[in-house]
Structure 1
Amino acid sequence: MSPTPLTARRDLPFDGFRIRCRRLFSPVTGRTLVIPLDHAITLGPAGGLEDPAAIVEAAVQGGADAVMLRPGLTHCLAVPGAERLGVIMALTGRLADGVDHVQLNTVEYAAAHAADAVCGEFKFGSSGDLENARVIAVLAERAHDLGLPVLVTVYTRPEAVRRLGPGAYAHACRIAEEIGGDFVKTALPDDPDIVRQCVESTSVPIVLAGGAPDAGTELSDVLDRAIRLGIGGAAVGRRAWAGGKPADAVRELAATVHGGPRHA
């Protein structure tokens, strides 16, 4: 299968779902740049998360398509220009311990707090992956009843790679689609065969996660290669706003995702 940009799918009625997709994905490229700022419940309000409104402002100034946050931070969307951003509400999460998530907020609560889409996360290969997948499947049913797109975030654990080999990444992406994901956020190795297999194994856009600031790779180069292989965009948090010039970082990422001049 080859993923079709959500903005280009003609099998979808022109309803609230498609209208929200137009706010999340560029109608020109069919790709998206999401700036997540939902990390503080796990990492604490540090490392750039002290001022979430400033992250939203950087997303606006840098030309991001959407932000991902939690319902309690809706007030940060009062930043001038934020009305142009799509809003993804993260509804599952964890605190400092463990890897598995629980559902923290409802779809209805997210819809009442300006959500254009909702997100749930699971780790393929963790001890709780099946239960987390079930939670997301139920969440997706309710979201679709309300016309909300669903982003499923999935990270492939080393245990799954040891058991299944490199195909574990495509397996994880396919699970995310089959439980109701309209687009999938995931981390992938900088390996063209793995990226291509993930893209070809799903019919929904895959959005590449940025990872930690010390990941040791040049993100723009990795992302550029992935885009050429059919990746549908990026979701970059810490590697965008943890540095000294977050608006410039977002601007460079937007240029990579959509094409255009990068910040010098």
Structure 2
Amino acid sequence: MTSYRLNRLFNPKSGRALDVAIDHGFFGEPTFLKGIESIDNAVSALIAAGPDAIQLTVGQARVLQSVPGKQKPALVLRTDIANVYGVPLDDHLYSHHFPDAVEEAVRLDAVCVVANLIQLPGRPEIREANIQSIMALRKECVRYNMPLMVEPLVMQENSVNGAYMVDGDTRKIVSLVRQARELGADLIKADPTSNVEDYHLVIEAAGDLPVLVRGGGGSISDRALLERTVGVLDQGAKGLVYGRNIVQHRDPVGITKAMMAILHDGSSVDDALLLIAGE
């Protein structure tokens, strides 16, 4: 029955979804706030662009859900908070979930909840905390027929820039995605592999679970981002969860429309680029 809610996430024509994540203020990192200084303005702009879903936190979800009408994007609710993104890192790292997160998701009419499964070099206690959260959330998700999206994140050693950055190692990503599946995820939000041509291995590890590809941060050209998107979709990904790639873009509405054209209409990269201002 969890699929009933997911019917509002995935496009009926393409079977794919674009979830725009603007839950970054939750993590307490100042650089994450660019483009979402005003959640009201960001949500309004995204509603106009028309993605399939917007990913928000318990404290911000009402901004989307108070908008009248049935055509607005669906709500994906972030349930956990961690401090692994700061520069420099805090001496003490943590990860916690809201104990009543699933009940909140029901009250807020979310289509699913999302929680991290983070692998940090030398910090197994964070992964353990995530596993504890996932098991607790899954118990409530089953009770309320709420889909659970698990976000496996494999991080590099933090000595690179003082914070943990995404590690695109295919072998590590596949292993963590498989663990997310074993823990009872209903859908997976996973990083792209460094070699995009390897992504079918991630899809294989997820089995029959839909995989939505995480955008992450970093500077990347519009063409490169769209080409990577086409690459992972061609190998079986069912959608995207892009955040800073969209909200920190010079034309958030245009890049959203470009993504939607590729996802749902099968547009080419060249045609999608025409939807972005300045291209």
TM-score by length of 2: 0.79
Shift of 1:120: 0.7
How many angstroms apart in 1 are the aligned matches of 2:253 and 2:131?
34
Q: Paired residues, what number?
A: 244
Question: What displacement does 1:201 show?
Answer: 1.6
Q: Does 1:178 align with 2:172?
A: no
| Residue of structure 2 in register with 1:4 after alignment | none
Of 210, 214, 223, the residue aligned with 1:209 is: 214
Aligned to 2:161: none
- Matching residue of 1:132: 130
Structure 2 Cα separation of the partners of residues 137 and 188 of structure 1: 25
Once residues 233 and 193 of structure 1 are traced to their aligned partners in structure 2, the CA distance between those partners, rounded to angstroms, is: 17
Secondary structure (helix, strand or coil) at the match of 1:158 reads: coil
Identity %: 22
**How far did residue 39 of structure 1 move?**
0.3
Match of 1:247 in 2: 253
Supply the distance in 1 between the matched residues of 2:140 and 2:250 (Cα, whole angstroms).
40
Greater CA deviation, 31-40 or 190-199?
Answer: 190-199
Offset from partner CA, 1:3-62 (integer Å, 9 cap, x none): xxxxxxxxxxxx4x2221111111111111000111012224731111112222233222
Q: Give the counterpart letter for 1:206 in structure 2.
A: V
Change (3 A) 1:255 1:65: same
Aligned to 1:103: 97
Pairing 1:200–2:208 present:
no
Letter in 2 for 1:201: A
Match of 1:70 in 2: 57
Q: Which runs of 5+ in 1 are unaligned?
A: 1-14, 160-164
**Gap change, CA 1:166 and 1:225, over 3 Å in 2:** closer
Task: Name 2:232's counterpart in structure 1.
Answer: 226
Which residues in structure 2 correspond to 1:33-48 (within 5 Å)? 33-42=18-27, 43-44=29-30, 46-48=33-35
Question: Could you tell me how far apart the structure 2 residues matched to 1:242 and 1:193 are?
Answer: 27
- Structure 1 partner of 2:74: 86
Q: 1:48 to 1:80 in 2, by over 3 A?
A: farther
Q: What are the ranges of 5 or more consecutive residues in structure 2 without an aligned counterpart?
A: 158-168
- Contact persistence 1:100–1:129 (CA under 8 A): no
Alpha-carbon separation, structure 2, partners of 1:38 and 1:152:
15
Q: Are the equivalent residues in 2 in contact too, given 1:57–1:82 (CA < 8 A)?
A: no
Q: RMSD of the alignment, in Å?
A: 2.3
Q: Taking structure 1 as the reference length, what is the TM-score of the superposition?
A: 0.84
Aligned in 2, Cα 1:215/1:140: closer, same or farther, shift over 3 Å? Answer: farther
